Structure 1
Amino acid sequence: MFPVLREETMHSRFFGFALLAALLAVPVFLVSPAFADTLSPVRNGAELLFFPWQRSAELVRELGGKPEQPLPAGVDLQALRRAAKQGDATARHRLGELYRDGAGLVRNERKAVDWFRQAAEQGYAPAQTSLGWMYMYGRGVAQDDKEAMKWFRLAAAQGYANAQNNVGALYMMGRGVPQNYEEALKWFRLAAAQGDAAAQRSVGWAYLFGQGVEQNDKEAAIWFRKGAVQGHAASQNNLALLYQAGRGVPQDYAQAMEWLHRAAAQNDASAQCNIGLAYWFGEGVAKDPAEAAKWFRKAAAQGDAQSQYNLGWLYKFGKGVPRDAVQAVNWLRLAAEQGHVQAQVLLGRMYRTGDGIGKDTEQAVKWLGRAAARGNAEACFNLGSMYLRGEGVPQDEERAMTLYREATALGSEEAELALRKLNGEGSEYPWRGDSKLVERLRTGVKQGDAEAMYDLSELYSRGYAVEPDARKDLELLEQAAALGSSRAQYALGCRYLAGEGVPRDEAKGLSLLNKAAAQGDAFARQKLKSLSGEEEQSDAAPAPAVAPPPDRDYVERFLKAAKAGDAAAQLQMAAMYLEGHGVKQNDRQTLKWLRKAARQDYGPAQALLGFLYEQGRAVRPDAEQARLWYGKAAAWYRQSAERGDMEAQFELAEMYKAGRGVPRDAAAAATWYDKAAAQGYMPAQFELGCMYLNGLGLARDEAKAREWLGRAAKQGHQEARRLSRQLKVR
């Protein structure tokens, strides 16, 4: 695995490169590149989507429309009806559009379908495409992907570019047909060759994510530019984000802003949101919260949920706008009603505390409950606390504990601590009376295991399975903290700050908290925010949560090990220099330490070196060198995988899936995912579930998809939980 600070267990599609995951987060094809109605590029916490789908239904032009819109200029409705009744296919299709959009007529989607069908049966390609769209989304007719594909194909066979792009989108998603990236790309290219801007963007997506073609950022930029110069707003937005990230084009914030403004001028909500983010972060423009708020408002007014959330957050904390709880709630509710989970959580918390709006526990339970149902750890924790105290709901300790367990499985340390406290008050506790556990922990202590020291100190502190002993508790806690256990550093730091069992020493307490926070300890970060007066702003904001940099001792410890020849420590130093984490960013030092580790035949370092050559980070892009180092990494992972190492099995599967260092082979990827999943490895269980769900590399099997996604969900995999819920609804 790639050991990066406290993020060793994080996995991305790029071999566990945790520090690089934010640069390359890959959105799932939930909808087609043109039908999209998905997330805008939120930058909070670990999630960072650089390339969101456009928030408009482009596959069928003029899709939108509010009820009772004015009749479009130049349309003679009576003449149009006469022509439609006389069998004119163009008139029939146009009349269907008016009914669909509610333009000059009362919106009536069933009548729209009737007129589309009459024109489609006459062989009119635009009507066939519109009818396919109605089937795709169940508008005025029962939803049916196969019927949608049927009508798209009929129009595509006539060379209708819009329909060809739609056929490609359905192949990309595996809707109505088996998923087939190569077939999808074939149809995208046919439409793109006719100059269809949406299809050109689709080809760009295929290159960006290596779907149906070898991944190539430069080609992605070329295709996005083709659509952008035609005035296609979504392509302009995508090209801008490539300029921001420096992928396929030199990083250029000025160019990024130029393209974003072109898209925003067309009222593209994603671009408006991205301009707001640029002003929030100060990327290519001076940091200006007020200007950020202005652009978020433009997108929010169009219904963009992420912008509504961002604007609500700004009003809550008075950033760029006057602090106004009522306005905050209004905007957060709009986002929450669209299913924006973070908005639901923040809205629920505001109602729970009565933050400037009056306490309303019924509303708090409603919104926290919705977010909890979608697997949000913070919502589960807050809702659990309400059940524990009987706030707005009947007091129910069992329900509270269930919610705390769910939150703990999702990674909430607050919930884990609350659960432990509850268990210590008389509920079942897994450590109580477990003498074998005590023996195992004592053995670990003798071997110098810091985490065993911390766990044993907990037993002595609470009197679980051993007699309470404050002296042994403190000794073990100090030993664990000295060896780098962030949990021990946090617990001991809090004791020194409070003078609990030790002399009160604020400087020592803060030092320990900072050490824990530098390793990513969430409790330590929150405690430091609280002490600095920032606690109120701990809700997810437009800005990302960034861990404090490692302190000097932390860096020195890895540097000492790296100089002594430890390959894992050398890789750690390379990662820190690559990202400027705890040290000044330095490409030369990155390559120095990475090559030292790679030349020791250390697979994770070889994989990262291949990745850097592939992406042109810290080195000039060199496809041959990338293949060389990926190949060495694959050989290393294979040896470890064949010995039964589940993490190596997972990484080897990832390489087969992406075609890095080995030929792309979905079946081989599935085989190695299966081996790792059988050993209980959560990321592999999730990937295997997805492969069964999509029929990728093995026969599609929804029952097995449910099984493996369920196993991953039980271990706390949030996306697995979401997919499992969707499958249960079917």
Structure 2
Amino acid sequence: MHAETVLKLTMQDTLQQAAQNRDAWIRAYREIVSEHPAAEDLAEQLIDRVQRAYAVLEERETLRSDGSLCQDPAYMEEFIRQEEQQEAALDGTFPLGREEDAAFALPYFPIPDLARIQLGFAAQVHTGTYSEYAQDVLVRKGILLEVLGQWKEAERCYQGVSTSSVVQQREFACRTKAQEQGEALYQKGMACVEQLDWDGAWYPFSQAADLGHREALAELGFMTVYGTGCGRCIEEGLDYLRTAAKQGSAYACQVLWELHDEGLRDVTGAEAQAWCRAAAEQGNAKALARLEDGFDLRPVTEILRERIGQGDVDALWYLAQELGDTQEAAGYMQQAADAGQVDALLFYAELYGDPAQPELYDPVKADACYRQAAEQGCEKAILTLGDRALHREDPPFWNRTEDPAAVPEDLRQRHRTQFDWYLKAAQGGCVSAMSHVAAAYHYGYPVEQDDRQAFLWASRSADAGDSYGMYACGYFYEHALGCEQDLSAALLLYTRAAEAGELGAMYRLIDIYETGRKGIPADPAKASRYRFAAGMNWD
């Protein structure tokens, strides 16, 4: 790195200005160390660096003042060689440690802010408030996001500055880095898939998708539609798949037409055929073969009536939806409920359980419908039965605000009933219920305190990819609650939870990295990164 860049100088600045900037850098580093003693080692390295940069400029000035030396070719060749070596040694692995990064960032920040960025405290740097005429704020935010490796977000900041070719080049560089990072994460996810570790694949796939990787988005769609490695949500999964298919993913197209072939009514024959053709145009052999078989393009109602004749209970519900608000639809809806179709049971349960419709309100019938659906393992019905055990003004058992010993017995009983239903949902695989069950066992309300059970349910929630479950499980590992202490496991779980957006995990990581723990050294840069991610000291 050029000595001028290290010291934040322009080509017109004098050696006197270089000395002033050197002193300003040193003051800035030492002021930060007074606030954050853990940064002292890196600060000393950076102080030595600015002193070496000043020495390079000082030697250069000495050469200029002695014109006779410039006339000696051998001396000049050796001088230039040594200066290049000295300047190359000024590069570093800390933030803004490369010439191109430092040269880009220097004009946008004063020396104290640059020193904080270099020492890993970017979250403490204020960027200012954006307005139409303050595009430099967007650039500063982009630089700080780059420091944190958030390439896609940095790219979006730079996109708002269309008047600078230098910023546009930086935007392209961020896009390239995002693509490279996205591909690396995608490959990491695929490696997990090859090991059938779907839970492990979710996180890298979601990160890669956030970076614009279309095949990772397609994999997320597949996982979400089928509930593999995550909670099942057909609508969300289809959104992922359709977006990836529009971007040219032949795999997403294939999953979409195969979902239609499996009977998913959300993908019509016409849509399945269109995606199949799109994949065939890319040379996909399966798509070409599937097109030869043809697609059933009859109206959905005609296809559903045929399935009803074949004894398909779900087709009763779907046909009622297709027919809309008609007497015929109501008849099919009733037939579906009589046959125990879960969606129809939930429909009538909500209808009978709504006090806003007094002419239909019948809590006994509502409970009966919910129980029928719950017997078939319906999570929504099980959780609702738990919630219906409470009075309207009752808080849920995980939100009690008073000492457990002071809770009235009738409320405690209602909470215990609610807990029993949530436990049943958790035992059936409901991830959202697992964290509440873990909290109940940990705090000893409305059941007996049992940290082993709390750890068990937090672990299951974490294994299912729930960010709060990861945080809770990490907390148990850190404090040896219901398990043996394992700081490495706690750190891993906190990190996974924080990367998924869990604030509690971010705060734990900030505390751990600021002071260090047994076997975990202090790391000011990581502490700063999580402060930034948590929104602390950030405009």
Relative contact order, CA 8 A, sep 6+: which one is greater?
2
TM range (shorter): 0.3 to 0.5
Query: When the two structures are superposed, what TM-score results if normalisation uses the length of structure 2?
Result: 0.37
Bigger-Rg structure (1/2): 2
* TM-score normalised by L of structure 1: 0.29
